[in-house]
Structure 1
């Protein structure tokens, strides 16, 4: 529209300077792109006389053709121009009322002009849409030279927990990339985001209340990272390398990671390839204190060191069949290999009776695990006409998950003598998972002002689980039939939805939808000769109301209902011992948890957001801890707890320029939290705050100081104590800003740790502290490259089940 208006003004200028007296001579021709022969519409043609005075002009049509009429008998200079292309000048002579056909004129790209010919419009940093908040990353000063992980930390209400999970107002969310699930969580997700150059991100959509179009799965919302569609024809990309080191006692734990992104764009295709390997040395120290009552106290300590190797890759290819149809394919994968060994001089436990040592346990554990996944997506989008579109998606995911552990437990009495014979055993677990899904989404404008969306989805998940437990008896490995297990699980979900959105008035808008999901699940615990079958249908309503009283204030009221089905590891009934006194166990009888959530939010002048938020969950899925009161042995079993409710408020400051050189990001969330299950009830006040300040210095240098702090919070039967950390970083643009050099120090004061206590009434007291590799220094270098000329914008028209297939590491 801007270009058309500009060209119309040019015509107006031309027409007012043309001679009044003209003959009937005509100059015609056709303008095309030299590279591909495509017609260039809206090219400007100006005709000049001998004195360089404009005497006529025209604009090429959609076929690239033009005609300049009513020219006098004379010699003329004809200039053809178009933004991003080199001007072409021709000299012609018109006489005797003839048509002078210039033929086909091919314009060549002008790289210099292209770089400077950018039409800009002020876009707000934060936009309140009807069903989401949008952060326009390109408008955020402090995000330049950052990774995707850095940018997420600055988005309103978002924080990253110590395990690498993304949180929205303190609740875990699903992370999507370009409208599709990333299928990653924890450290795998963190590795992907930290390896993604922030310059490739266009927007971050914070969907606290997903509409009916999205899967109802998830206790909270969705963070959708929208990458920039590479409008530059040719090759572009980035390379990033990072080294980090973490001191612990006299040891130094190292880490190396890298990322390569490559994009190629032509007139008909857009291809993107990324690959990110990572090597990391790490540690974790876990200490616990269990008061069993009657003077018995069990003190445990575990120090483990690990080497983790992982990689992820992603290939996406779009083919533009024509102006209305696009077909695409995505192939992504993740590989992980972890090896973990305990420090045998430290790992173990001691049992005291009224302060006197009565038994010592020394434990040695060597373990390794592997995780391999491949995910494929085929998509097709067709636009029938303006405001009418259909998108088809077909997905397949395969997971191969394995773990092996060798454990030796030695028991000594108070004098150091052998109390009981050593326990030596090993376990080998295999899990295979196949996920198939297909979905269709349709949208159309009806009655000229109502946007209707409708769609359907089918998904099937098949898991095959095998655990072999063997005990060493007199040097021979004997199968333990009680702890060995076979478990198969099948789940089908059939879903359909419909939603409608409309503008009720210039200031008031509304959207509502319904989604129905029918679930059929069958679990077969072969080794226990037990089967479980569940069939249930759920209706999930969503509602949104938006009000914009003026240009500075945006208000939104939302409601939605969500479901959190047990993930496949939580259903797995295998019992796996992590040390002599602790084991993990799934529960095939788990039922889904349901969450109702509502919020009222206000955004003022782009940078400030404030609001109220309530979340009310039934059948909360938690990891419950059961104890043997005589030995202190604990069993961590997944269970449905009861109700977990919170209601509170949030306040965010996003990309606020305090001065020309200081930018501030702040997020504060406070809520009343209530846990209730049978006769157990716990209520407390929870607060969370994160802050990020960016200081912009001369010569493309930035200094960042960031941190977060969480107060204690009850979660099920546990009371999690406060935690927090402070980080510092320096970034400098180099090589004319094609490169970025970053130095970061995380957890400067080494305060980050997990500290919790149990209050389930089974024992007198149980508390633990877990400390891991949180304090580290990292050095990164990113290099960006690219060339080409502008191309037209295209858009293409999702799999929740894979989110529940993640391989979990549960702290004992």
Structure 2
């Protein structure tokens, strides 16, 4: 009955939206040509007549100077901007060491394609006859509503995985287990605009499955409009993988081998006429290396019991991942399109370990083994209809996501002097099924005013079976939502985009001890973005939005994970969602190929979810609670600069406060400062040779009960283009001077039953050396299709796998 009510709500919203536009919907209203074309040109040096490769080009509207498209020139100085609507524009061409040049261009429905021919730009110096102009492709794009990190242009990513890529994305911070935060807040991670069932189990493990060579770009959206699901107090991260929709056959092959892991990926697209097929497969195989863990815990109960334990040992885990996808896209005609995609992931990690325990002065040994597997399949079907009215669009999407996460572990305890011991075995099989239906409609009243409406239903079921017993945990979560967004111009240079999203959530679950529990709630999520175009291609933006964080399976599952017998963990099905209000003021500008993006923000979050250290008997137990209310202030500044045509410097600095006040006790943590720094230097030697260096620093991280040490990563790569620039060969290195990262986490908790202290020292093997090769064939032409986006549940922020302190190689 509940699902019927939700579906009725969604259907009613769709019919209401369509009823509002009887004349304009699907062809009504002012008719405008939907014909789009392209602008092409060749950029040359005015003196040497040599091509300017990687010159930055921005296409701005001639009336309001708003940027509508852009790109960089290739090695022959050629530029091609696709999908350009008929209008009057200015083409702004910039490159370090050259004067910025503006070229007027007009496209019409009768002549949508314009070839500007050869455009010469002149140097700011008097004589450059002997200078060989070469540069490096832009890694960062600064768009009005997001920042885009072009991972495929960063050679230091070769041989890594998605976790390595995320560490270099501006504004993001990643801990040693791969958990991601955006400006100190939790995020929702999408892949090609869609959720993934593997992400629902553990973001950290899911990111390790994706070879870096499969990633085209990463989009960071700090101020999502009401059209997006309200999930993610910090914002949304969208990982775009390498795909194409090209006429004929095209593809890429990537492979890498190293001392830490081996990656491989293959992408293939074939298109003929209206039909397009694409497929991809990737694998990630890491070597098992010893990760040392030293844990000291002291538990003192009010009843008089105590337990003092020191654990010193290692885990030797391997990690193997496989992912693939198959997609089909068909255009019935110029206005109707249907597409479908199936994606699967399989990821497993684990292995043996051994530890020595000193428990209240008594020495013993534990031999343990762990196996964690993640299997997931996502299948989506999307239909899109456009009309002769430019910008009008209607879409219906459906998605099925199924996931299985079997886990098992064993511990054999051997007393001092003995040769055999008792073995304890435990297992847990999690099942996650998710069904989604979504519809969206966009109607432009005119060039200045656009309305967007839509509705969505998500039906989730999480089941968990402990130790091969009967069903122990069954969790149902149904979310029905509807939104409306309107965009319009206040003045020629000032634009406003405002909206409201309504979400109704139904939850019921049962556990062995609590029986059936219910938790239904309704929320409204307003959003508004005000942008002002300034002189010199600069933009000022002020935004507000309200967001939510729902806990996922790893937060909720009450399964007691005793893979480490002196450090237990368990989910909490009674968690409430986080709610946050976000305010941001941002400034961005483009100056002769250089980019500056700066922002200040304030976020107030109620019901903050964090890990909590308590006790089970006299053994430390980590679970999750709503600790209280947090107020966060911060700023972020990113810059990219070319001191010479061959040389690109890039840096990002982010700083935010941390402080939580418990709503019941009134106890506050005080205010602490968190920061993250990223720096990159890339140099093009010419003839296809490129060298890059990078470094990442994450400050110590505070939590309600403790602190984690700072992290520092650094690396380098050298790449040479081969095979007529269709291929490349490179070498890379990560942390060459230190095998391990030594990270200490300290937690201290006082509860009603006693107190507990825990210090965890992890020595994580990170140093690696590797070689890589990539090859592209065919002619790539990328297009984007509308996909379902489920971004409404909180991802695991402390989940890095089980075992000894969650350490993984």
Q: What is the TM-score normalised by the length of structure 1?
A: 0.75
Which residue of 1 is the match for residue 262 of structure 2?
A: 256
Kept in 2, the 8 Å contact 1:363–1:580? The answer is: no
Which residue of 2 is the match for residue 214 of structure 1?
A: 228
* 2: CA distance, partners of 1:794 / 1:234: 18
Q: Using a 3 Å threshold, how does the CA distance of structure 1 residues 797 and 758 change in structure 2: closer, same or farther?
A: closer
Which residue of 2 is the match for residue 491 of structure 1?
A: 477
Aligned length, in residue pairs: 661
For the residue of structure 2 that corresponds to 1:195, the secondary structure is helix
Cα deviation for residue 224 of structure 1 reads 2.9
Which residue of 2 is the match for residue 101 of structure 1?
A: none
Q: Which of 182, 189, 207 pairs up with 2:207?
A: 189
Cα deviation for residue 623 of structure 1 reads 1.5
Which residue of 2 is the match for residue 88 of structure 1?
A: none
Q: Using a 3 Å threshold, how does the CA distance of structure 1 residues 408 and 155 change in structure 2: closer, same or farther?
A: closer
Deviations 1:3-26 (CA, angstroms, capped at 9, x unpaired): 8999xxxxxxxxxxxxxxxxxxxx
Deviations 1:143-194 (CA, angstroms, capped at 9, x unpaired): 9989895776655424544334454334443333443235543243244251
Kept in 2, the 8 Å contact 1:145–1:733? The answer is: no
For the residue of structure 1 that corresponds to 2:231, the secondary structure is coil
* 2: CA distance, partners of 1:173 / 1:462: 22
Cα deviation for residue 407 of structure 1 reads 1.4
Cα deviation for residue 544 of structure 1 reads 0.5
Which residue of 2 is the match for residue 276 of structure 1?
A: 282
Cα deviation for residue 325 of structure 1 reads 0.8
Q: Does residue 1:737 correspond to 2:725, yes or no?
A: yes
Kept in 2, the 8 Å contact 1:146–1:197? The answer is: no
Q: Using a 3 Å threshold, how does the CA distance of structure 1 residues 209 and 808 change in structure 2: closer, same or farther?
A: same
Which residue of 2 is the match for residue 561 of structure 1?
A: 546
Q: Which of 285, 308, 313 pairs up with 1:302?
A: 313
Larger radius of gyration: 1
Of 185-194 and 527-536, deviating more is: 185-194
Deviations 1:432-477 (CA, angstroms, capped at 9, x unpaired): 22110100011011255211111000111112211017xxxxxxxx
For the residue of structure 2 that corresponds to 1:759, the secondary structure is strand
Which residues of 2 match residues 437-516 of structure 1 at below 5 A?
Answer: 437-446=436-445, 449-468=448-467, 486-516=472-502
Q: Using a 3 Å threshold, how does the CA distance of structure 1 residues 712 and 153 change in structure 2: closer, same or farther?
A: closer
* 2: CA distance, partners of 1:296 / 1:797: 53
Kept in 1, the 8 Å contact 2:187–2:795? The answer is: no
For the residue of structure 2 that corresponds to 1:186, the secondary structure is helix
Q: Does residue 1:175 correspond to 2:189, yes or no?
A: yes
Q: Does residue 1:410 correspond to 2:414, yes or no?
A: yes
For the residue of structure 1 that corresponds to 2:441, the secondary structure is strand
Deviations 1:291-340 (CA, angstroms, capped at 9, x unpaired): 45799743112311122222011122110111011100010010123331
Which residue of 2 is the match for residue 767 of structure 1?
A: 759
Deviations 1:595-617 (CA, angstroms, capped at 9, x unpaired): 22111111122511112022222
* 1: CA distance, partners of 2:517 / 2:37: 64
Q: Does residue 1:522 correspond to 2:508, yes or no?
A: yes
Q: Using a 3 Å threshold, how does the CA distance of structure 1 residues 558 and 193 change in structure 2: closer, same or farther?
A: farther
Cα deviation for residue 231 of structure 1 reads 5.6
Which residue of 1 is the match for residue 636 of structure 2?
A: 650
Cα deviation for residue 684 of structure 1 reads 1.2
Q: Using a 3 Å threshold, how does the CA distance of structure 1 residues 228 and 432 change in structure 2: closer, same or farther?
A: closer
Which residue of 2 is the match for residue 104 of structure 1?
A: none
Q: Which of 576, 585, 591 pairs up with 1:591?
A: 576
Which residue of 2 is the match for residue 312 of structure 1?
A: 323
For the residue of structure 2 that corresponds to 1:752, the secondary structure is strand
Cα deviation for residue 749 of structure 1 reads 3.3
Which residue of 2 is the match for residue 705 of structure 1?
A: 693
Deviations 1:372-400 (CA, angstroms, capped at 9, x unpaired): 11110000000023221111110001112
Cα deviation for residue 281 of structure 1 reads 2.2
For the residue of structure 2 that corresponds to 1:212, the secondary structure is coil
Cα deviation for residue 801 of structure 1 reads 6.8
Which residue of 2 is the match for residue 372 of structure 1?
A: 375
Q: Relative contact order: is structure 1 or structure 2 higher (C-alpha 8 Å, sep ≥ 6)?
A: 2
Which residue of 1 is the match for residue 273 of structure 2?
A: 267
For the residue of structure 1 that corresponds to 2:632, the secondary structure is strand
Kept in 2, the 8 Å contact 1:142–1:663? The answer is: no
Q: Which of 645, 655, 663 pairs up with 1:660?
A: 645
Stretches of structure 2 lacking an aligned partner (at least 5 in a row):
1-34, 41-108, 116-136
Kept in 1, the 8 Å contact 2:408–2:428? The answer is: yes
* 2: CA distance, partners of 1:229 / 1:687: 34
* 1: CA distance, partners of 2:310 / 2:166: 40
Q: Using a 3 Å threshold, how does the CA distance of structure 1 residues 657 and 666 change in structure 2: closer, same or farther?
A: same
Cα deviation for residue 787 of structure 1 reads 4.6
Q: Using a 3 Å threshold, how does the CA distance of structure 1 residues 400 and 224 change in structure 2: closer, same or farther?
A: closer
For the residue of structure 1 that corresponds to 2:210, the secondary structure is helix
Which residue of 2 is the match for residue 250 of structure 1?
A: none
Q: Using a 3 Å threshold, how does the CA distance of structure 1 residues 800 and 259 change in structure 2: closer, same or farther?
A: same
Deviations 1:577-628 (CA, angstroms, capped at 9, x unpaired): 0222121111111111112211111112251111202222211111211136
Cα deviation for residue 270 of structure 1 reads 2.1
Which residue of 1 is the match for residue 428 of structure 2?
A: 429
Which residue of 1 is the match for residue 16 of structure 2?
A: none
Q: Which of 590, 607, 610 pairs up with 2:595?
A: 607
Which residues of 2 match residues 315-334 of structure 1 at below 5 A?
Answer: 315-334=326-345
